[in-house]
Copies of this chain bind each other. A is one copy, B any other.
Amino acid sequence: MNLHDAIIIGSGSAGLTAGLYAGRFRMDTLVFERMSPGGQILLSPSIDNYPGFPAGLGTEELISRFKKQAEEVGIDIQSKDVLEVKRSSDGFLVRTSEGDFETKTVIVATGAQPKRLDIKGELRLTGKGVSYCGTCDGPLFKEKDIVVIGGGDRAIEEALFLAAYAKKVTIIHRRDEFRASMILVEKAKANPKIDFFLEGVVEEIYGENKVDAVKVRNVKTGAESQVACQGVFVFVGILPNTDFLKNLLDRDEFGFIITDQEMRTSQAGIFACGDCRKKSLYQVVTACGDGAISADSAYKYIINKK
């Protein structure tokens, strides 16, 4: 079996940048993607905060540029679902839906996905007012009414961020206590633009071609009400796509892969980059930075092993 230098699992911003750098290092590299290239960023129609595009850019256009750039240095992107990775005598055996592959190093760039509410209207109105990223889409909601769903750090941080743009932000949270740190909650409470709807569960999102309102049920009384809004930001967690690696790599309680600054995981020869790893800021530019570093680290790993 052909022994590759690197197999990159995933073709979002992190995986494609890892491919670009691996190609420039002249590593014999395959990229396996489960569906089409892109990852979480395609949940937003456009992106304003990727450095280099002051006028913003469609996310599909950005991903297609990443892909083209990786392919131009000779990276082979193949549609294959990775089922398992295990150690072999020469490195690693990567089992896929369409056969087995051998490689000296593995770069995990499988990304994550936002946890969805799984309610009526949510999928249909995604990108039409329903968003899973305030940093990406906040500026689109200047002087609008926004609902933020969630009670963790991320939800409150995003609510504070969004309040700088929105007319009003209503945080809807199903408990009357927060997982978020009190300091964040206090800041939100002190912000005149932020309201709270506690012990409320959003059951439906209304709107024809864009969001009009949400239906909220009080978990104590059962009473139903509507909150009018143009934006619904859902922050009820993200799920890293790492279950197939749970017996191989150290992960945190949510499944994010633990790495050091050089993207090295708990298994020598396996690197992780982008949204699937535990880190402080999940953005396209940080995914790209991670990807470049992981390819460099894989390259050094191979060189130093010879």
A206 within 8 A of B: no
Which listed residue, B138, B160, B183, B303, touches A184 by the CB 8 Å rule? Answer: B303
Contact in complex: B183, A26 (CB < 8 Å): yes
Residue A172 at the chain B interface, CB threshold 8 Å: no
CB distance from A141 to the nearest CB of B (A): 13
Cα(A153)–Cα(B139), bound, Å: 39
Residue of B nearest to A281 (CB): B296
A164 to B138, CA, bound (A): 47
CB contacts (< 8 Å) of A204 on chain B: these are: none
Q: How far is the CB of A135 from chain B (nearest CB, A)?
A: 7
Q: A164-B26, A183-B23, A304-B183 are in contact. Are A281 and B292 (CB under 8 A)?
A: yes
A290 on interface, CB distance cutoff 8 Å: yes
Known contacts A51-B16, A53-B69, A296-B280: A26-B181 contact under CB 8 Å: yes
Give a binary string over A128-160; 1 marks a CB under 8 Å from any B CB, 0 the rest. 000000010011000000000000000001001
- The count of identical subunits is 2
Task: Confirm or deny: A115 has a beta carbon within 8 angstroms of a beta carbon on chain B.
Answer: no
Chain A interface size, as a band, is 35 or more
Q: Say how far A286's CB is from chain B's closest CB, in angstroms.
A: 5
* CB of A196 closer than 8 Å to a CB of B: no
User: Contact mask A267-293 → B, CB, 8 Å, 1/0?
Assistant: 000000000000111010110111111
User: For chain A residues 190-207, which have a beta carbon within 8 Å of chain B?
Assistant: none
Q: What's the minimum C-beta distance from A276 to chain B, rounded to whole angstroms?
A: 15
Asked if A262 is at the interface (CB within 8 A of a chain B CB), the reply is: yes
**Are A297 and B285 in contact, CB atoms less than 8 angstroms apart?**
no
Beta-carbon contact of B186 and A26 below 8 Å: yes
7 contacts between A and B (CB under 8 A): A13-B51, A20-B49, A25-B161, A25-B183, A51-B66, A53-B65, A261-B261
Q: Which 7 A/B pairs are nearest by Cβ-Cβ distance? A: A289-B289, A26-B182, A54-B69, A26-B164, A54-B68, A281-B296, A286-B289
